[in-house]
Amino acid sequence: MTKPEKERKLKIHLFESREPQCFYSVPNIITVLRLSCSLVFFVLAITQMNPTYNFIGFGIHWLGDFIDGFYARKFKQETILGAEIDIIADRVEILFFYVNFLYFRPYLFLPVVLYLIDYTFIDFYLSYQFIKYDIISPNYFYKVDKVVYLLNYSPGGKFCNSSIVTLLLIFLPQIQIVATIIAAILIGVKLFSIYLLNKKRLKTKRGDYLSL
């Protein structure tokens, strides 16, 4: 095989679409790489006692999360495994970031703890519910429940869930009360969303039972 043929084959391989059940995809590799790279900087932050490394790690998390999602949608490489490892990687990265962040800014304990409860625990449970439905990822929750999608996985819902509290704590720590209130509201939104999904699931099961 000539060099141009190899390059053409590699290009096709990188950009060809994937079935939802596929194990390998480029976005999956990007997710693993951004997780590995961000963790290196999170560890450096605490070993070198330098918060700058922590913010670099967070930047890698944010940029990598955007790139793997964009690539998956652009080239039709969204997979169930990709959604699963993306959910896990996001929580691991955010947990490391905030553990370091709290070390450098311990006075922000309350909003940080509330946000970690929301994002790494309750939101993790909610996001992982997609596996129980015939959808590829949480991005398709509108096929299951439009309210849950609007509150959590629409562009606005994602921004509120993953950005507002963090941006406030980084750039406006003096008004931590606002971040605390928003984190508490996010917890309420997630619990309400879980309630809606459970209600819909029970209703579906009851309908299936009555149809027997």
Strand ranges inside the chain, DSSP E: none
d(CA 44, CA 51): 9
Q: For 147-157, what is each residue's pLDDT tens digit?
A: 999 999 999 99
Q: Which two tokens stand for residue 32?
A: 């693993």
Q: How many helices (H) and strands (E) does the chain have?
A: 10, 0
d(CA 120, CA 110): 15
Burial letters for 106-117: b for 16+ Cβ neighbours within 10 Å, e otherwise? eebeebbebbbb
d(CA 90, CA 119): 9
d(CA 83, CA 50): 32
Q: What confidence score (pLDDT) does residue 3 get?
A: 52
Q: What confidence score (pLDDT) does residue 15 get?
A: 74
Report the predicted TM-score, pTM, of the whole model to 2 decimal places: 0.89
How confident is the prediction along the chain (212 residues), in pLDDT tens digits per residue?
555 545 455 454 677 878 878 878 999 999 999 999 999 999 999 999 999 999 999 999 999 999 999 999 999 999 999 999 999 999 999 999 999 999 999 999 999 999 999 999 999 999 999 999 999 999 999 999 999 999 999 999 999 999 999 999 999 999 999 999 999 999 999 999 999 999 998 877 665 545 55
Q: Residues near 28 by Cβ (< 8 Å), separated by ≥ 6?
A: 68, 79, 81, 82, 85
